[in-house]
Chains A and B, each alone.
Chain A
Amino acid sequence: MLKEIYYPEKVHCLPEKRNFLFRAGFPSSKQPAEVDFIKKANEVYLLALGTIKPVVFHLTAPVDYFPPELFPESFLNIKAMTVFASTLGHSLDDLINELNQKNQSFEAWLLDAWGSESVEALNRHFDQWLRKKHGVGTRRFSPGYGRVDIRMNKFIIKELLKLEEIEVLESGVMLPRKTTTCLIGWYHEKK
């Protein structure tokens, strides 16, 4: 089974502003109202958007293609599954590192928060894209929860998707940092 590659538009990676700022430390009820801060946050937002090189690697196959330890408990009665890895690429990590080295921690902090929300926004978009293609499916699931060990990331990245662009540490953490793996089960097998 060969992986496929999906190149999203940047608009698909736009994180919800409130979520991005929430992750950066602003509670929903106390989102910054000062115009100058909003402008600064937007500069970081747009800088990040201009920096990322988002891509989604995905593979869909019948259930018997996958090892049983990859299936969450909730994935009962599915006929097929999609495994995908979405990443914003190395450039955002490089930028965050660079800013930290220059002691521009404020921007680095915001960029990091942005990146985390952006990859989630991308996942949401790709999730919807898959559902249009495959029909009714389970909720989206990521290793590290339930019975699926986070170290399954290595299997997903290296064995299933066969990606060299993404490094997986022994702990299961992936590089670039803003990378996630997800699973969705399908109740109908497409012919």
Chain B
Amino acid sequence: MRRNEFKNLLEQKVLFLDGSYGSEFIKRGLGEKLVERLNLTASDEVRKLQKEYVEAGVDIILTNTFSANRAKLGAYNLEDEIEKINAAAVRIARSVCTGDQFVFGNLGPTGFLLEPFGPLSFRQAYDIFKEQASILVKNGVDGLIIETMSDLKELKAAILAVREVTEDLPLIAQMTFGADGLSLTGTSVEIFASLMNDLEVDVVGLNCSLDPEKMLPVLAELAKHCSKPLSVEPNAGQPQLSGNKLNYLTSPEELAVYARDYLELGANIIGGCCGTGPEHIRAMVKFVGQKKPMPRKITRALYLSSRTILKPVEPFLVVGERINASAKKKLLAQIQHYDFSEIISLAQKQQDEGAAVIDVNPGIEKLLAAEHIRALIQTLDRQSTLPLSVDIQDDEFLRVALEEYAGRPLLNSANVRQEHLLTRLNLIKRHGGLLIVLAIEDEVPPSAEERIKVLEKAIKIIQEQGVELSRIFFDPLVLPHGAGHDFRETIKTIHFLREKGLNSIIGLSNLSYGLPEREKINAAFLSLCLSAGLKAAILNTSELTTMNVLEGGLALQGLELKELKKTSAQSEEPVVNLLIRGKKDELKALVEEKLKELTPLSVSQNLLGRAMEKIGQLYASGEIFLPHLILSAETARPIFDYLNSLIPEKATRRGRILLATVEGDIHDIGKNIVATIFRSSGFEVMDLGKNVPAETVVLEAKKLKPDVIGLSAMMTTTVGRVKETADLIKSENLNLPILAGGASMNQELAERFEVYYAKDALQALEICHQLIKSKRSRGNESHRKD
């Protein structure tokens, strides 16, 4: 099926997707560690389930291949069967279709976070998805769906990989979000939508994590911001243990009722995720019926974004100019040595000064390698900075930068030479983003008329390439006044752009190059440009006069710079600030200063420990996100280690925790985050890794003598192992508290298993503190009694 056929179909009726596979197979007693293997070992069962979905009325059947990528199969030593498993899945799905259904190849996440938060590079992830997509397409799927992505960068890798394999087949791209509308790595639904609007996907959607009720507001937000057709697959609630069976609380009727609401919100494709089965789908199909998709109001606001920060372009875009290594030898040298501390500092300063976007110019590119660019973009990503304006000329460096970039960037810039412009247009078509186009082809046009002619040529090329003009900022050229250039030609060109309803941007400081009192000149010129209709400027945000003139100029037009929900982590507490911003050296210096008056133990627990607690509160309240948390923990850890080296052994440890992902489960992202947080809080962490049998946990616990055991289970097929492990620990009389977490765990299950439950790393830390405190005070009491 071609993409335009699929698009036409979506305009005519709402389509139904199938329900879960993993939880359904468990219900049916097919508890394979990897359900995708059932395609080979129990194909009849897979066929039976899919037949039931067809009979329930679905339009789209997914192949049973969610975890059938090389990374996930590798964890079970099944990577050699990748071709067989995926091919069999397509064959089985196709065999149950009665003619009206489509078979979509299902691609799930790799199970690893991508750099800079995890071990997988963009290229590695890309190759993993490309391999699986190739097999699915070769075996004849009608389309592809990427499900349950919690990381925007990984999703982008998957989308680009699929599009390398096929440009013609429809592609559905779905992320999973919490009830707060944020993904695991801090991406909001709005950021997701704004990037997906640019990329070559046909449907954008949500699945997993949320029950039908909690999914509703998240879908509502997506519907507001996404211009593409929508898909949604909620879970059937959290699993509940009943005897030895896991049940999901959402009834078929409840899913059906909410499906009707999803239709009202504008959903084009509706299905179910974990816990849903044929009965849910049947109820939904019956209740929703054959309906046309509802029209919806989509915001026309234009955004730029980083992974975690969204900035509107309206009413005026302020781009900070000071990360410019082309004019700063020192900065270039730092980049060459992978020292980005000054760049981070400049980024944060400009953010504080009111920039919405940070222009990054790495300098003389001949003196750099692609790895410098990769490291630079990754470092800025880790710092969770503002969206970037990528000021790079080398095509290969640009490609690397945009690959690494998670979000919607501004690309600075293209001239109107055909090849130059086309390359950059293709880059933003491929990676998403907006583009600055200069009014210059071969030479600098001196007059406004000549510049307008060049811009008209650019507009034609851009339109021929199918890129919306709203994604372009046209630069009318600001030339040094001191060299005799007439600034009024720039103003005239801005007028032209305003009349055409096009965005304009200038490099403000170019005007005053070489002149004294640059700030005054810049500010005055900016005022003139604002009156002419300027929409954006790359400028020096530390120039107070310039920034005040900007504010005043906008106020005269009845406008003001929009401040979205505060997403930059700012705290009045200096230690918290330093941690969130990853300022290791400054933090060390502050700690050294404090050690002159306080004991190392006091600094560790009262200063650093309290700061980490405060960071935990900021994270819990949604003021900072996971990247901040991870960065804070990593910044704190060496400081804690240093302080611990100064503290006597007995007094040092806050506690010792033994961590493991249970047998049969190969997910460890969450566990690794827990380990990082615990280490940074002064705990000794012994991590046994993933897929750990209960017997191994017991053996190691006897050897290592932890204070607490932490178990992680992500999958509904493995959550029972938590009980198994807990029971074995108790039967061995180890008398150790057990803390459990992971996507499949919940409070009720924890009570049944007689373990403690932590919904995230911070809650785990809090519980451990309490447990160890009680243990120690019991120890002290018995010591006093003795």
Contact = CB atoms under 8 A, between A and B. Distances in A.
B213 interface: yes
Given A11-B287, A14-B287, A17-B264, A45 B257 contact: yes
A42 interface: yes
B256 to A, nearest CB: 6
Contact of A49 (B217, B253, B258, B286): B253
A11 B253 contact: yes
B258 to A, nearest CB: 7
Given A11-B252, A11-B287, A17-B264, A42 B220 contact: no
A42 B258 contact: yes
Contacts of A14: 253, 256-257, 287
Contacts of B217: 35
Given A10-B253, A11-B252, A42 B261 contact: yes
Given A46-B254, A49-B253, A11 B283 contact: yes
B540 to A, nearest CB: 43
Interface in A37-92: 38-39, 42, 45-46, 49
Given A14-B287, A17-B260, A35 B253 contact: no
A31 interface: yes
A165 B448 CA distance: 88
B630 interface: no
A17 B286 contact: no
B220 A46 contact: no
A49 B252 CA distance: 12
B547 to A, nearest CB: 38
Contacts of B282: 11
Contacts of A31: 264
Give the contact-size bracket for chain A.
10 to 19
A35 B217 CA distance: 6
Contacts of A35: 216-217, 220
A31 B258 CA distance: 15
Interface residues of B, number: 17
The B interface, classified by DSSP as helix, strand, loop or mixed, is helix
A14 B257 CA distance: 8
A182 B220 CA distance: 40
B220 A11 contact: no
Contacts of A46: 253-254, 257
A38 B258 CA distance: 9
B25 to A, nearest CB: 25
A136 to B, nearest CB: 23
Contact of B213 (A10, A16, A39, A49): A39
Nearest to A13: B253
A106 to B, nearest CB: 18
Nearest to B297: A33
A42 B216 CA distance: 11
B250 to A, nearest CB: 10
Nearest to A121: B287
B217 to A, nearest CB: 4
B33 to A, nearest CB: 35
A44 to B, nearest CB: 10
Nearest to A46: B254
Interface of B: 213, 216-217, 220, 252-254, 256-258, 260-261, 264, 282-283, 286-287
Given A11-B287, A17-B264, 18 more contacts: A10-B253, A11-B252, A11-B256, A11-B283, A11-B286, A14-B257, A14-B287, A16-B260, A31-B264, A33-B264, A35-B216, A35-B217, A42-B254, A42-B257, A45-B257, A46-B254, A49-B253, A49-B257
Interface of A: 10-11, 14, 16-17, 31, 33, 35, 38-39, 42, 45-46, 49
23 contacts: A11-B252, A11-B253, A11-B256, A11-B282, A11-B286, A11-B287, A14-B253, A14-B256, A14-B287, A16-B260, A17-B257, A17-B260, A17-B264, A31-B264, A33-B264, A35-B216, A35-B220, A38-B216, A42-B213, A42-B254, A42-B261, A46-B254, A49-B253
